[in-house]
Amino acid sequence: MGGLGRLAGVWLGALIVSFSGVAARAQTLPQSQPDILWIVTDDQRPDSVAAFNRAMTGRAESRLGPVESPNLDRLARQGVLFVNAFNQAPTCGPSRTSMLTGRYPFRNGKYGWENTHQTADFVRPAFSQAVRRAGYGTAVIGKRHYSIVPKDKSEPIYDLELDFARDMQRNGIGDFTSEGSYGLADSVLLRRAGTETVFYPDGRTKTYQISWADRELSAAEEATKAAVEKEFDILRARTQIHTSLILGGVNPMPAGRTIDGRILEEFQNYLANANRDYKSTWGATLQGADRTKPLFVNLGFHFPHTPVLPPKSFRDRFKSKYYRLPEFDTDELSALPPQLVETYNEAKSDRLTDSEKLQAVRDYYAFTAYGDTLIGKAVDSFVEYSKSNGREYMVVITIGDHGWQLGEQGIMGKFGPWDQSIHGAAIVISSNKTAFPAGKVFREFVEYVDFAPTIMAAAGVDVGKPEFAYLDGFDLARALVDPKLKRDYILGEMNLVNGHRAYMRTKDFAFSMRTRDFRTEGRSPNLNRDVTWALDVAPKKADLALYDLRVDPGERRNLATTLDYDDLAQWFREKLGNIVLGDGRVEADWGRENAYNLSNFAGGADDKRIAIPPALLPNSPRVTRPGPNR
């Protein structure tokens, strides 16, 4: 399973796979189908969890300093902690879509923030749809950001979709929101007119201008903005585009009433009002959970995504804590290819003072500490709901849809192929301790595409059947006990900010490269045009980056153009390029119903194995003189 040895015929099979087989099996599935809760946080680094740090370094604090995560630590003790989980795209949209579809971005055709749909015949169901057909009631509450339009309204992505932005913030439930300020054109961030709105505890709101696309703020507008910044101790990024991005400050709402607190409240109300209608926090009539069905809920928290504004009670606990700022020297940029220099320029932190950087770090970890309390309450409420229904339960916690740099590589942001952007963690807790034993730490590579088959299998769907061969991941319950499901590398790709870039990570090396020579979203008739460009072009134009993690775990020295590593970099280029460009790559024109192109010139290249020729491995890893520019 998991897409290994995929043949072209599997990819070219007819229309969207039928659910009829799943529907038929739903009638005979065991009554022990567990209630399933899938929690996803946003921009959360795994080192904000003490249990993760203890497993990786033997110490509770992160490499930067102290963290607080008593609830996630407790939950890790109750289940399995996956410490080497990696996302398939270091930004929200493509990462969440990859998780929901169980497919790599280069196979589901979503590389950025495109609005996708299910009318194209290469598309396969979201795993929430398969779970729904297996007899589950389904809901997503909080952050969604997957942008998939179902083919048929009778087959929704979820039965209930309650979005924190569309349904809550726009109806007056929030803390601090931003509209506009920057937008996307052909995957490039562009400055535009924007506003911010502050929600006060007494019900007042204040909306003010923070930017214009073609001019500076007036003196009065600047004064209003400055007054709010002083009131809430706002720290903003200082890059060419992200002048409005909030890296630190205090939340205008107290703990429990922030947007994440209200997401939790909506989730708890949905459970508490099972089998009856109820009023949401903004007055809409909603239907509670259906107790006659097993339940699957995707709970999407927004923390610690920008604006990074922890509530005062948590911020005060962290304001005097000591943190070590990550080491970075601008000399490191001289070895980076232009594409990664552009990533640096998008999110660089060198215009911040050390005290401002320290504020950003403190506020980030204070925010995750606050989020930890919300996760604990959410899980406890869900387990209580399941037990009250006499059902088994499973909880999957994805710690960050992707990560966040706090100064590593000189940036405060994401979008890069480096560890802090792509490395996450997961916790799986189950009332079935045989499947997920308590207190276990799993150290093998896990990918975010694994969550789909894991949850589907728990729901009773037979993911080993041929109709689910499109899934790129593994059922984690099986991966825990089956060594044949071990993978030697992780994969990812996206097309945002600096263009298409793919990455591969092994135990010893981290490699990334430019995959396409353009930034535009897919458009007919140029889909998969010159698809082998990254393999055929001169290596310098492919913007290669290679880090030897054996001696440089912080990824500070790109060795792709040094003499000792040049041949190894070319080997990785062939390995990664054949997989993401030639093993089932799809590029789609999402503005049309069924316009896409499939590239399968290297079918089966994704074999999950790394067998580097020994002659390419330097005997004594070291940084050497630059190699020739080819």
pLDDT of 237-254, one tens digit each? 988 767 789 999 999 999
Residue 28 above 50 pLDDT?
no
**Please, which residues have CB within 8 angstroms of residue 40's CB and are 6 or more apart in sequence?**
96, 99, 143, 298, 299, 300, 301, 398, 401
Specify the pTM: 0.92
**CA 232 → CA 177, 196, 309, distances in Å?**
14, 13, 9
pLDDT at 261 over 90: yes
Query: How much is the pLDDT for 14?
Result: 31
Q: Are 142 and 263 in contact (CB under 8 A)?
A: yes
Return the number of other C-beta atoms located less than 10 Å from residue 306's C-beta.
Answer: 23
Residue whose token pair is 């590239």: 599
Q: What is the pLDDT of residues 99-158, one digit of tens each?
A: 999 999 999 999 999 999 999 999 999 999 999 999 999 999 999 988 899 999 899 999
Say which CATH class 8-169+255-308+373-479 falls into.
alpha beta
Cα 244 to Cα 593: distance, rounded to the nearest angstrom = 37
Residues of the chain with CATH 3.40.720.10: 8-169+255-308+373-479
Residue type, 478: R
573 pLDDT above the threshold of 90: yes
Q: Per residue in 492-521, pLDDT tens?
A: 999 988 899 999 999 999 999 999 998 888
Distance separating alpha carbons of residues 431 and 511, to the nearest angstrom: 39
User: pLDDT-derived band of residue 419, with 50, 70 and 90 as boundaries?
Assistant: very high
Mean pLDDT of 298-321: 97
Q: Which band of pLDDT confidence, cut at 50, 70 and 90, is reported for residue 3?
A: very low
Residue with token string 């589907």: 456
| Residue 8 predicted with pLDDT over 70 | no
What is residue 624's predicted lDDT score, i.e. its pLDDT?
Answer: 43
